[in-house]
Structure 1
Amino acid sequence: MQRAAILAVIFALLCAPAVARSKATEYLVAEQIAEACSGAGGQIDPAAVIEQDLTGDGKDDLIISHEGISCAGGGRSSFCGAQVCAFNVYVRRGALLELAKEMLGTMVSVDGSKVPSIRWYGHGGAKHLLRWDGSSFR
């Protein structure tokens, strides 16, 4: 009985739909993949797309990290170097997402606080932090 219940839970998790992204996010992800792969197509690791409120206004903002982009036929984003990749931070303004910051880094993460900190590693492994101050990211 217990084994059947475990199998049912696993099956339900495998069949569960992926978290839906907003139309604005889908558009920007497709645009970034096209630019990164010179129009050849590609895909992005879901972990490289962070939809979360970054400004504390209750609306999901967006981070797209080129570190997670793989181009068709192999290869990575043209916005990646030997150590770091570009990542873009967008702020939601109504139904649109506006580019607020372009940064370079790897292992981008966001904590869960009301106004979260964006953390990443830069060249040489240097740790960096970015937070919304009410009008911009600093």
Structure 2
Amino acid sequence: MIHVPVTPKTIVSLLVAIGAVTMSEPARADMVRAVVDREIAEACGGTPGELQSEGRIERDLDGDGLEDLIVSHEWMRCTGGMGMAGRSEFCGMQVCSVNIYVRRGSGFDLAREMLGADVRVGSGARPEITMRAHGGDVFGIRLDPAP
């Protein structure tokens, strides 16, 4: 048997996880901002940077009804660091890191790390995520359904 201390935070996390309550828009926005800020810090070598709106895609990707998050580094701009011409350090000549996060309870879990460009998300409960690979070929993936 697992013993978990009962605190207001664990109760709210449990209720959010089972869908009994929904997370407020400010709380969800804070979660997204925390992930994006961490990605910028890593990709810009600790120097300031920003992720343009095209590089942040918020959609349900695994069919659980919760908005997930894609961070595409091709849309990241750094004011310093080692990146080429102010780009993310996780970009090459043709493609950049694309990190896909899924909502789990009161946070995000990294589901996939890929290289790509021109990320697009289709429609439907588990939409196809397409992007361009090295050499320009387009490929697509779908995330597994939420547990």
Aligned to 2:115: 104
Aligned to 1:13: none
Of stretches 56-65 and 21-30 in structure 1, the one that deviates more from structure 2 is 21-30
Structure 2 Cα separation of the partners of residues 126 and 32 of structure 1: 26
Shift >3 Å, 4+ stretches: none
Aligned to 1:55: 62
Structure 2 Cα separation of the partners of residues 134 and 58 of structure 1: 11
**Matched letter for residue 22 of structure 1:** A
State the 1:135 CA deviation: 5.7
Structure 2 Cα separation of the partners of residues 96 and 24 of structure 1: 7
**Matched letter for residue 93 of structure 2:** A
Aligned pair partner of 2:38 in 28, 31, 43? 31
Aligned to 1:40: 47
**Matched letter for residue 106 of structure 2:** A
Of stretches 29-38 and 65-74 in structure 1, the one that deviates more from structure 2 is 65-74
State the 1:133 CA deviation: 3.0
Aligned to 1:7: none
Aligned to 1:130: 141
Structure 1 Cα separation of the partners of residues 47 and 65 of structure 2: 36
Is 1:120 the equivalent of 2:131?
yes
Aligned to 2:98: 87
Higher relative contact order (CA closer than 8 Å, sequence separation 6+): 2
Structure 2 Cα separation of the partners of residues 57 and 135 of structure 1: 6
TM-score by length of 2: 0.75
Stretches of structure 1 lacking an aligned partner (at least 5 in a row): 1-18
> 2:61 touches 2:127 (CA, 8 Å); kept in 1?
yes
Stretches of structure 2 lacking an aligned partner (at least 5 in a row): 1-24
TM-score by length of 1: 0.80
Q: Secondary structure at the match of 1:22?
A: helix
Of stretches 20-29 and 48-57 in structure 1, the one that deviates more from structure 2 is 20-29
